[in-house]
Amino acid sequence: MFFVPRFRAFAAVAALTAAAAIAHAQQALPNVVILATGGTIAGAGASAANSATYAAAKVPVDKLIAGLPEISKVANVRGEQVFQIASESFTNDNLMGLAKRVSALSKQADVDGIVITHGTDTLEETAYFLNLVVRTSKPIVVVGSMRPGTALSADGALNLYDAVNVAASKDASGKGVLVTMNDEIQSGRDVSKVVNIKTEAFKSQWGPLGMVVEGKNYWFRAPVKRHTTQSEFNIDEITALPAVDIVYGYGNVPSTAIDALGKSGVKALVHAGTGNGSVADRIVPVLQKLRGDGVQIIRSSRVSDGFVIRNAEQPDDKYDWVTAHDLKPQKARILAMVALTKTNDSKELQRIFWEY
């Protein structure tokens, strides 16, 4: 007769002890916030065989998290749905809104790391923008996928698991904004999408910073360009981004696009030239005129690797042009927009392109 109450009391104490142990374990884990913006990682196809044909930005962040219970052993994770769009539709306002939210979260004592799920088409642009304007040493990791979660051999779940692992890791602090795709940890500054139908889609000519294998980070190099806490730019002080556009160089190129953009009120123009940022002879005077009208000319290259050498191919000093160094045109545009919020002096802009 007396055993039943005693057993119940023992069971109640055991349950409380177990609950306390779970609560203690959760308190010991890092706190990671996942900011979801849409993209393929939130996409869905008509069948498991659809790995390249699907609708992006369909799955909400709470379902992404619920579908990956393993991350609960890595960090205390919560999600916010910031946007639900395909990344080719990202605007400057989207960039600004996301960066301000990341900045605000980074200041909270109860946030140890931030993950941003993102479509892959402009993922590199967002990662670089955050790298320039969010002043924090806390890990910020941007992640996407090349296949929707409904596809055979979908890559999104492992990419997201790796991203949470990196964001929760103290050894990822102070390394700038990172990108985790295909087991690699890439610098948000250096990485670009180079393939559109393979899971190994993101590469940097300088190589990854490290790798994630079964939840463990392995680091091999660190970024040397200025970023985050070392940056002179701060999203909390930026209210608008100036208009910067890109024109593409190719054989028989006319000046039509340049003329139109010049009339649109653009503040800077990135010329994606051939080879070493070469500019066709008939285009040179058109760009010179724009520079005379106050538009900054930034000479970049459409070539995937290498870097533009100043005063080679074109006399940049004479024309008062800026060279993009190793930044691809789309990233040169991002840096130009950010830099122009501080200065319109071409020498200062060139310094910024060397340093960032």
Model confidence pLDDT, tens digit, residues 111-164? 999 999 999 999 999 999 999 999 999 999 999 999 999 999 999 999 999 999
Q: Identify the band that residue 21 occupies on the pLDDT scale cut at 50, 70 and 90.
A: very low
Q: CA–CA separation, 144 vs 41, rounded Å?
A: 5
Q: In percent, how much of the chain has pLDDT > 90?
A: 91
Strands ordered across the beta sheet of 244-248: 244-248, 268-273, 296-301, 322-323
Sequence ranges of the chain with CATH classification 3.40.50.1170: 29-230
Per-residue pLDDT at 186: 98
- The rounded distance, in Å, linking the Cα atoms of 31 and 78 is 8
Phi first, then psi: what are they for 239, rounded to 5°?
A: -105, -20
Tell me the one-letter amino acid at 96: M
pLDDT class of 24 with cuts at 50, 70, 90: very low
CATH level 3 topology of 242-355 = Rossmann fold (3.40.50)
Residue 174 is inside which H or E element, if any?
A: none
Per the CB < 8 A criterion, the answer to whether 106 and 229 are in contact is no
Q: What is the CA radius of gyration of the chain?
A: 24
Residue 10 pLDDT > 80? no
pTM of the model: 0.92
pLDDT tens figures, 238-293: 999 999 999 999 999 999 999 999 999 999 999 999 999 999 999 999 999 999 99
Other beta carbons within 10 Å of 64: 21
**pLDDT, mean of residues 198-206:** 97
Name the band, by pLDDT with cuts 50, 70 and 90, for residue 20: very low
User: Which residues are the active-site residues?
Assistant: 40, 120
How far apart, in whole angstroms, are the C-alpha atoms of residue 139 and residue 248? Answer: 35
Question: At 321, is the pLDDT very low, low, confident or very high (cuts 50, 70, 90)?
Answer: very high
Residue ranges in 56-155 assigned as alpha helix (H): 61-66, 92-106, 123-133
- Lowest-pLDDT range, 2-11, 41-50, 58-67, 223-232? 2-11
User: Which regions of the chain carry the CATH code 3.40.50.40?
Assistant: 242-355
CA distance 172 to 165: 10
Q: Which helix (H) or strand (E) holds 263?
A: helix 256-263
Say if CB 270 and CB 245 are below 8 A apart.
yes
The CATH number, out of the four listed (3.40.50.1170, 2.40.30.170, 3.90.1210.10, 1.10.1060.10), of the domain defined by the range 29-230: 3.40.50.1170
Q: Would you give the DSSP letter of residue 305? A: S
% pLDDT > 70, the chain: 92
pLDDT of residue 19 exceeding 50, the answer is no
36: its two tokens: 């979801």
pLDDT at 15 over 70: no
| DSSP category for residue 275 | T
